[in-house]
Structure 1
Amino acid sequence: MVFSPLLSVPTELLLAVTEAIDDGASLRSFALTCKLARLLAEPVLYRAVLQPPTRAELVQALDLRPEYGRHADVEELTPLIGAMTQLRALSMESPFANYGLWGSSATRPRWEALMQGYRALFLNAHSGAGLQNLQSLTIHWSGDASPFWQLTEFKPILTLPALQRLTISCAVLGDDLADGLAAFAGTTPLTHLELVECFVLQEALAAVLALPRALRSCHLGTMRYHTSPSNNYDEASPEQQLEALRQQRHSLQQLTWFDKDFAHHTDVLRVSTVPGRGLYDFTELHTLTLDGASALLFSTLLSEWAPPNLDRLRIIRHDEGTVLDHLTDSVDYARIPGIPSPFALHQYLPKLHHLDLVLSPEDGWNTEPLWAKPDRRDLVKRLGEEYHARGICLAIFTANRGSTYPPYLSGEEVPCEEPAYRAENAWFCSCCLE
């Protein structure tokens, strides 16, 4: 027998070397050399898998996101997930997620079998079998002939004992979802909740947001790009969403807020009356992202009910409007323009240090930057100077979304924000000066 000097190295060092190898073929070759190498390599080799594993109990991360239209046999893998007792992260996506192509006679039986397997998986998890250590769950599903699926049918997802991060898209949160959830209020370890293109009803949202002991990050992405799943529902209004969110005011640190009604308007043409105490009691909130020109949230930020410790405000615009065309001293701020005045932000947000403006126009719209002309660049510089004088750094980014929109599925390109201007040194990227 040939002796390898490598095996004389202390086991702890061998384990550290093995964990640093990210090449699957090399790990498999090493595992086949001897019994010791197999014991060291298998836990790393099976930690994250894309195909059905032979050692299910070693899997810690599982990615079930087949490419669009591929006939990946994910139905065969579903029963094995319950045996993955060390599973920490799970990503799931229907082969036709959010495209509504399951309605044909050829594909519908497969869709029904897939969803039945998923229901059994989470029901079993609720009774203590499998998924007890799951910490992160991402689901991009669809219905059989619709882009939407009913979260009520998978309610045990919301009360998994170790789940800290939950991201779901195109789900309907109907009021029947609230049944039975009150018993779990304030008990789950969930710290990050992301709802993408979801259809949300008031009672259901209130019940879901009552579950975490201390939610730290929330992405309220109600339906913007999809057609309503039913005309029989009244989706929760922005005021009702804010009221539901108040249950986490003691812990929430980051909030992303979608506004579907004013997402494509240059200026918000109405001012909402801020309900209750607005965001004033959200003392831990330090980062707020407004994806769309929300009348309610702008009204809150420019009032005595603004969050007292907000450090960063991000405003994402999807229109082709010229929100920087108006001189700051001539704008009628009662109309809540797309970007607040330096004085208004400084007055109500005394701890604000960063204002990020992200311009992400719709595909096919005029994408000429607002500062393409010299006079506009001068206006941007003036605005940046006024913010800087009040301790707020203005930064402008561009993000080309192309033809994709949320939720971004397997293989789709996620928009990347490119810096265009920073007020701290009056810097413009070279493309802005062409």
Structure 2
Amino acid sequence: MASSPLLSVPTELLLAVVEAIDDAASLRSFALTCKRARLLAEPVLYRAVLVTTGSQASCLAKALQQQQLPARAELVQVLDLRPEYGRDADVEALTPLIGAMTQLRTLSMESPFANYGYWDSSTIHGRWEALTQGYRALFLDAQCGAGLQKLESLTIHWSGDADRFWLLTEFKPILTLPALQSLTVSCAVLGDDLADALAAFAGTTPLTHLELVECFVSQKALTAVLALPRALRSCHLGIMRYHANPLDDYHQASPEQQLEALRQQRHSLQQLTWFDKAFAYDTDVRRVSTISGRGLHDFTELYTLTLDGASPLLLSTLLSECAPPNLDRLRVIRQDEGTILDHPTDSVAYARIPGIPPPIALHQHLPKLRHLDLVFSPEEHYDIEPLWAKPDRRERVKRLGEDYHARGIHLAIFAANRGSAFPALPVR
């Protein structure tokens, strides 16, 4: 193979050929032919790695431990750890080697039983504890300057060892990784104790995207976490809609407290997704909540707002002088089957349609709004075809769209199905 015509071509061309091969088995075969082929193929083979079973983790760990240059661990830039429940064990075999992946940019981690109710099993407890010990050491080492120094994106979908929720306090260094720009966590508990020692990092982290999915968050913790980024651009506050409070000792931040904590990023926030348990379904949205302070008026950079659940606080804010002045797109996600579209669409009735802001009010308080998206997303499986089955509904939707269009607002209506898994699939 050393005298093969293929290996006689310039290195740049060989690299282009290797990059174009999307079959891992073929690349492995090529890498085994000679040293030059290995040096060309392995950076592509190890650049992005997906692990779904313990046997894959064990094989990868053995490969990374082989003593040869360049070190294979340093070739990994994307690592996706999503072990399947019920498959072979030994997922933890890979954990000690993550810290040696000095070029790692993106890391995704999922509990092997994140969506299974088996936390009380003693077998499960042992497996999860072995994994979390390794993860805990990994992030503590990162705080000391070893490993993960170039990590830019971190996604964690975990559970606890005896409950659906896990304590972010035990992994506090996650929040202050030196290069981290995007952080997504689900089913995490952010209690008051998390705020300890974070004050020293206020306004210093490069985080631009923060996503909390079905998390318990106290007011003190949320205030401390949102104080960390120098300039947060995107925030997803998905705080405990579907489950009871996992910690009786803490009080979950109220919508008003969440908004107050978020004000720390009003100078830079461009996109906000907001979950709220208190749906504005059965009342006039102009009178459902009292707005404290200036609301979103000082969020001059905010151009996209998604309300998942039609928050009464946020809807009230949008229909007042506290609205964000430069908002371009508003998306309202409702957990129903579109029955509100059966309401008449004359101007008098708009205010009585639960959860749909009247066009004239949006035009008045959101002068730069150009897009309004209504998304009907039932929590249970639902056939979206009936959304358009009624002729009267189609006619009213048409009239509704015409009324918005006359005020310079483009109305789009979507239907989407979402399951009960966490994290939930995003609504497109």
User: How far is the alpha carbon of 1:30 from its aligned partner?
Assistant: 1.5
Is residue 132–residue 160 contact of structure 1 (8 Å, CA) maintained in 2? Answer: yes
User: How far is the alpha carbon of 1:5 from its aligned partner?
Assistant: 2.6
Is the aligned partner of 1:145 residue 2:159? no
Is the aligned partner of 1:20 residue 2:20? yes
Is residue 158–residue 186 contact of structure 2 (8 Å, CA) maintained in 1? Answer: yes
Is the aligned partner of 1:205 residue 2:222? yes
SS at match of 2:14: helix
1:425 aligned partner: none
User: How far is the alpha carbon of 1:366 from its aligned partner?
Assistant: 8.1
1:356 aligned partner: 373
SS at match of 2:113: coil
Cα RMSD, aligned residues only: 2.0
2:246 aligned partner: 229
Is the aligned partner of 1:84 residue 2:105? no
Is residue 338–residue 376 contact of structure 2 (8 Å, CA) maintained in 1? Answer: no
What amino acid is aligned across from residue 10 of structure 2 in structure 1? P
Is residue 164–residue 189 contact of structure 1 (8 Å, CA) maintained in 2? Answer: yes
Runs (5+) with no aligned partner, structure 1: 409-413, 418-434
Is residue 98–residue 146 contact of structure 1 (8 Å, CA) maintained in 2? Answer: no
User: How far is the alpha carbon of 1:79 from its aligned partner?
Assistant: 0.4
2:255 aligned partner: 238
What amino acid is aligned across from residue 108 of structure 2 in structure 1? S
What amino acid is aligned across from residue 172 of structure 1 in structure 2? V
TM-score normalized by the length of structure 2: 0.91
Select 2:315's aligned residue among 286, 298, 301. 298
SS at match of 2:374: strand
2:279 aligned partner: 262
SS at match of 2:100: coil
1:122 aligned partner: 139
Is residue 133–residue 161 contact of structure 1 (8 Å, CA) maintained in 2? Answer: yes
SS at match of 1:196: strand
Using the alignment, how far apart are the partners of 2:399 and 2:3 within structure 1? 73
What amino acid is aligned across from residue 143 of structure 2 in structure 1? H
Using the alignment, how far apart are the partners of 1:368 and 1:266 within structure 2? 25
User: How far is the alpha carbon of 1:276 from its aligned partner?
Assistant: 1.2
1:35 aligned partner: 35
Is residue 400–residue 415 contact of structure 1 (8 Å, CA) maintained in 2? Answer: no
Using the alignment, how far apart are the partners of 1:21 and 1:70 within structure 2? 30
The alignment of Structure 1 onto Structure 2 pairs a total of residues equal to 409
Q: Deviations over 1:211-268 (max 9, x none)?
A: 01111111000011223213332110001001111111111111100011227x4556
Q: Deviations over 1:389-414 (max 9, x none)?
A: 1111101111022x434314xxxxx3
Using the alignment, how far apart are the partners of 1:17 and 1:83 within structure 2? 29
Is residue 266–residue 322 contact of structure 1 (8 Å, CA) maintained in 2? Answer: no
Is the aligned partner of 1:132 residue 2:149? yes
Higher mean alpha-carbon deviation, 117-126 vs 314-323, is at 314-323
Higher mean alpha-carbon deviation, 365-374 vs 230-239, is at 365-374
Using the alignment, how far apart are the partners of 1:316 and 1:303 within structure 2? 21
Q: 1:46 to 1:185 in 2, by over 3 A?
A: same
Is residue 313–residue 355 contact of structure 1 (8 Å, CA) maintained in 2? Answer: yes
1:189 aligned partner: 206
Aligned pairs for 1:4-403 (under 5 A) are: 4-49=4-49, 50=51, 51-52=56-57, 53=60, 54=64, 55-262=72-279, 265=281, 267=283, 271-320=288-337, 322-324=339-341, 325-331=343-349, 333=351, 337-363=354-380, 369-401=386-418, 403=419
Is residue 28–residue 41 contact of structure 2 (8 Å, CA) maintained in 1? Answer: yes
Using the alignment, how far apart are the partners of 2:244 and 2:290 within structure 1? 28
Q: Deviations over 1:53-95 (max 9, x none)?
A: 3221211111111123334422111101111111111111111
Instruction: Give me the identity figure in percent.
Output: 78
Runs (5+) with no aligned partner, structure 2: 65-71
Q: 1:223 to 1:357 in 2, by over 3 A?
A: same
SS at match of 1:391: coil
User: How far is the alpha carbon of 1:32 from its aligned partner?
Assistant: 1.8
- The structure whose residues are more often helix, as a share, is 2
Using the alignment, how far apart are the partners of 1:405 and 1:110 within structure 2? 22
Is residue 298–residue 336 contact of structure 1 (8 Å, CA) maintained in 2? Answer: no
Higher mean alpha-carbon deviation, 135-144 vs 371-380, is at 371-380
Q: 1:173 to 1:2 in 2, by over 3 A?
A: closer
SS at match of 2:232: coil
Q: 1:328 to 1:197 in 2, by over 3 A?
A: farther
SS at match of 1:107: helix
Using the alignment, how far apart are the partners of 2:382 and 2:20 within structure 1? 46
